[in-house]
A and B are shown apart, each in its own frame.
Chain A
Amino acid sequence: MTLASVTEHVRSGMTVGVGGWGSRRKPMAMVRELLRSDVDDLTLVTFGGPEVGLLCAAGKVRRVIYGFVSLDSIPLDPHFRAAREAGRIEATEYDEGMFVAALRAGANRLSFLPTRAGLESDVMTMNPHLRTVASPYDDEVYVAVPAVRPDISLIHLNRSDPLGNGQFLGPDPYFDDLFAMASDKTLLSVEKIVSTAELTATERSTSLLVSRMFVNGVIETPRGAHFTSCDPDYGRDEEFQRHYAASAQDEESWQRFRETFLAGDEASYHEAVREFHGVYA
């Protein structure tokens, strides 16, 4: 499928899972496609990075369910911070382990999973919907983390075949396989689509973590995680990320950033990034 068809699947009001982790292997090309669309009122489920900031800045976010929102080398996304401080978005802030439990419960089609994490912390205060559950075997009490099942998840991997068998080549799969299993639908974007045989020609089969069973569409979109990292294909574009964060500081700089990078299609985005780095085709 093409990048443009992302919006045939992602509709306003949906709960959208986003793979990757912080500023690492985020499906940024698909996120940029959402920015070009009129999709809004989204609930994001994510170990958040710049996708949260960009979608918040575009006014497309109603709620974020998150383990954290960070740009890694920059502790917090400035647009997310601004949206939180202005009260423009609802926040479901979980302990990171609770966040994983919520996804696992969703993937297992359970109503909840128990965790010790969260007990006696203000995660319980900040999320009044949370309940505890008593063990039927002893006197222990746990947090019953309710399942999260996204309507659709967006994930980005290094390679896949045309059927949607996805491959991670970097050091960490993050939670992309879990997102795919916990969601009603999943769209996979990759750096490169190759033949099924080519996937394991030089790589171990243990890199094939995302099965076509859990993928509804594949999009080849080179540098589709930019400006986040996509090891080993490319690292994070730190210089551009700093520019993104600095541009968020005031309306005028942000307007300029949008006009320069986000006003056109994916090809013109990458062209503008090359120009930003002083590389002229």
Chain B
Amino acid sequence: MTEPRNPGMSSIPQTAPPHTDVTSPAVEMDPVEYTLRKRLPRKLPKRRNDVYVNMKTDFRAQLARCQKLLEGGGHREICVHGLGLAINRAINIALQLQASSQGALQLAANTSTVELVDDLEPEDPDEAGEPMTRTRNNSAIHIKVFYPDPQ
């Protein structure tokens, strides 16, 4: 996932997050060549305790941010989101948080499918038709990391 606070990210579609199931478009898009531009995932609903994990920021920085939210930020729960390749990292962060809490934290993972939109722009505007889009799906994970209610 792309870091949501990254300034100016919406204007740079090339900085889309890494995708795991990239289909090689150039080969299949005969006869005209297109450039593939990945749009950013459609929306990032973001509460203060939502963390979107990406593959660009240093792992330890992202882990530290989560720890800060849980310990210093006073949140009883945070939600760690990961898309595609970042799923692994999101799981890793969640498991690390749990391990370093000495059993105080619990995890609840949900999975979902995220629809992603790619823009296809013709290399040569004279030859090709209008720009097109294509949608594809990628998997995502949403991990709730929380202190269980004392009962």
Q: Do A and B bind each other?
A: no
